[in-house]
Chains A and B, each alone.
Chain A
Amino acid sequence: MKNLIENTIGKIKQQQLKPAPKWKYLARKYGSWSVFGLIVVLGSLSLSAGYFIIANLDWDLYRFMHQSMLGYSLSIFPYFWAILIAIFLAAAFFDIRKTETGYRFSWLKISLITLGSIILLGLIMSLFGIGGRFNSMMTKGVPYYGKHMMVTRESQWMQPEKGFLAGTINSVSDNEIVISDLNRRNWNVQFSEKTLIRPSVDIKQGGMIKIIGKKLGENKFEASEIRPWIGRGMMDGQQRRFMINGSGMMRNN
């Protein structure tokens, strides 16, 4: 055995072997943790984008669609972002497990730490409006995202056949509003005394509105309810009926 030691040291000297530089090891070590950090950031971004979508949908529409709350929730759930978050969780798990001491953490611990970090950072991002901005970037930059991959406020309100329409007001008369929808197509929207106009709706040229009603013809729509583009238009939780005069001003009925 003594020969083994002498031979090994002799070989080390003869071949001029040296311990591998520490920076290589540190680069690998911190590289893995940086990848973990990146995964958490991407997961948080996904969470804030998903949250933005959910928060901006009208959650009471299931009543107009003759659906159950559960069925409606399942139909509008942002699966794309949820699947991405699940992928990031799995990636974080394998990344941590590949670190020098990662095997010491159980899958539950790794998942909870990763999910906790994603939720915390995701909430902070949402507070700063990053989720909304990221979502807009995705809608503009990624084909199919806004139309097929996600139920967004836009896609939710651009279903005239199902009775949902949204757009910008072009003109207002006594019983008709002309709007240009989100695809820039013009619609004549009829309303009457029975039409529920939410309190915070500002019906004037250039205002953006959402309409619940019935499609009457190619470019004709009958409104049963009008809401502002953002939110449900409730004020103090009360719903009041409004009439619109010819100049587009509103008065309490």
Chain B
Amino acid sequence: MHEEAVQSDVDLIELSKQNPESFGLLMTRYQGPLFHYIRRMTQLPHDDIQDLLQEVFIKIYQKLNEYDEELKFSSWAYRIAHNHVIDYFRKVGARVQINSLEDYEWEKIISASVQIEKAIVDKDCVEKIKICMQELPMKYREVMILRFVEEKEYEEIMDILKKPKGSVATLIARGKEILNKKIKEQNINCF
């Protein structure tokens, strides 16, 4: 454990190239965040998420020589996970869902996106907003999850989605705008 705490991601990458056992330390460090990221991006059962996560880690391992130290390792790993999830949904021909967010995660998105006047949002209201959010195109939803649930900085979102900073800012602003518009259209007036 001590070794894991002091060694940087870059050190662990170098060690992993020599010995797959060292890759276990990197996996220990990122399995939690990546598991939850995949869960937030998908609507799959726990075991399926684990299967996807294993495939993501194997991909990361096979691409270790491609890692560019200009990026944070976490951003790079999230990018691989993001692309893998998109590929997975493309392969199975399904639409990426985000219903699997926890209540506290929904509240993060809602409070960041919708103008809330009341301190507490009632459950019924959250349910209605979930439906509006579900109707948002994928490009807006994924960026809003990264910003408001994963609490990533703009630069990290840039690196994960491989989009310029201006595009990330536009997607977030536009996503909020569309969500607010949908809420108005649906006459959701519970704040």
| A residues in contact (CB < 8 Å) with B | 1, 4-9, 11-13, 17-22, 24-25, 100-101, 103-107
Contact = CB atoms under 8 A, between A and B. Distances in A.
Given A1-B31, A20-B66, A101-B70, A8 B158 contact: no
B62 interface: yes
A8 B27 contact: yes
Nearest to B20: A12
Interface stretch (B88-96, B106-114, B161-169): B161-169
A24 B66 CA distance: 9
Given A4-B27, A5-B24, 15 more contacts: A4-B57, A6-B24, A8-B23, A8-B27, A17-B62, A19-B16, A19-B61, A19-B62, A19-B64, A20-B65, A20-B66, A21-B65, A22-B65, A103-B158, A104-B164
Nearest to B32: A1
A103 B75 CA distance: 14
Contacts of A107: 164
Contacts of A106: 164, 166
B179 to A, nearest CB: 25
B53 interface: yes
Interface of B: 16-17, 20-21, 23-24, 27-28, 31-32, 35, 50, 53-54, 57-58, 61-66, 68, 70-71, 158, 162-166
Contacts of A103: 158, 162-164
Nearest to A110: B164
Contacts of B70: 101
A20 B53 contact: no
B64 A4 contact: no
Contacts of B50: 4
A9 B24 contact: yes
Contacts of A105: 164
7 contacts: A4-B50, A8-B23, A9-B21, A17-B61, A19-B61, A19-B65, A103-B162
A11 B21 CA distance: 12
B65 A4 contact: no
Nearest to A108: B166
Nearest to A21: B65
Contact of A11 (B54, B65, B163, B164): B54
Contacts of A8: 23-24, 27, 54, 57-58
B21 to A, nearest CB: 6
A240 B32 CA distance: 89
A12 B66 contact: no
A13 to B, nearest CB: 6
Given A19-B64, A19-B65, A4 B53 contact: yes
A193 to B, nearest CB: 69
A18 B35 CA distance: 23
B64 A11 contact: no
B65 A25 contact: yes
Contact of A12 (B23, B31, B71): B23
Contacts of A24: 65
B27 A5 contact: yes
A100 B158 CA distance: 12
A5 B65 contact: no
Nearest to B21: A9
A7 B64 CA distance: 19
